[in-house]
Amino acid sequence: MIEPVELKDFFIVFFSGAMIIMSGALYALLFAWSRLQSKPWMMATAYGSYGILFISVLTLGSAAHLNGFWWWLVIAMLVGYLLAPHGIWKLCVGTHTADENAYPPVSAEETDNSETSLKSNSQKEAI
């Protein structure tokens, strides 16, 4: 059912496991920040973080012998971490829009007009 990690791969497993969570969080952080600030270049760094996550997951998969059924775990992590920030962002926008006092920012991907970014929301509040 499972093939234990080899002694020589212990550090690789620990390190890649930690990197998955760290780069996953960094991806989420930069993704959200990029949308908030309407800075497309930051989105590139977010996907760069996802790239690190991708490599970490494959490294973990290889070192921990995630074969057969366990390959699904690798796929679930790759797809899940990629899509989770998108889903959570939509939920953020949805929940805050529902709140009458909130002015949700519109993502750079959704519009080219930077006036609708957070800056303009601050201006609306000032008005």
Give the residues lining the site for another protein (CB under 8 A): 1-5, 7, 10, 13-14, 17-18, 20-22, 24-25, 28-29, 31-33, 36-37, 60, 64-66, 69-70, 72-73, 76-77, 80-81, 84-85, 88-89, 91-92, 95-96, 98-99, 101-105, 118, 121-122
Name all contacts of 19-26 with Cβ < 8 Å and 24+ positions apart: 19/52, 19/53, 19/56, 20/53, 20/56, 20/57, 20/60, 20/77, 20/81, 23/49, 23/50, 23/52, 23/53, 23/56, 24/53, 24/81, 26/52
Q: How far is the CB of 54 from another protein (least distance, A)?
A: 15
Q: How far is the CB of 112 from another protein (least distance, A)?
A: 20
Which CB, 77 or 108, lies closer to another protein? Answer: 77
Contact 79, 53 (CB under 8 A): no
Q: How far is the CB of 75 from another protein (least distance, A)?
A: 11
